[in-house]
Amino acid sequence: MAKTDSTSEPDTTSEPVEEELVDVVVVLNASTPQEVRDALDGLRSVGMKILKVDEEHGVVEGVSEPKVLTLLRRLPTVKTARLLFEYIAERPKQEEDD
């Protein structure tokens, strides 16, 4: 039977990972429902998680990493993108696939 070393470091595989996130509001340059859907695809493609969409006014609320805000502002379907709130979120550590 193997002995366990009581001086070894604790297992940190189950500790949460901290991640910096921002809440953003995006106003779209879109006037038809199809243009809004296309714009939403563009927002997702640069890394924004969509939380709420007001299709009538072309306003989208979401969450992303801070670096995504610059990418959002460069999209042709975005009129403006505003940072609402910055915070550190903890998420469970995920094992990487080999």
CATH number at residue 75: 3.30.70.1150
Please state, in angstroms and rounded to a whole number, the distance separating the CA atoms of residues 17 and 27.
31
Residue showing tokens 């001086």: 7
Q: Do the domain assignments include residue 77? A: yes
Q: Which domain holds residue 39?
A: 17-91
Q: Do the domain assignments include residue 3? A: no
Q: Do the domain assignments include residue 97? A: no
Instruction: Say what the pLDDT of residue 50 is.
Output: 97
- Domain tally for the chain? 1
Q: Do the domain assignments include residue 10? A: no
Q: Do the domain assignments include residue 6? A: no
pLDDT in tens, 24-56: 999 999 888 899 999 999 999 999 999 999 998
Q: Do the domain assignments include residue 12? A: no
Q: Do the domain assignments include residue 9? A: no
Q: Do the domain assignments include residue 11? A: no
Instruction: Say what the pLDDT of residue 17 is.
Output: 85
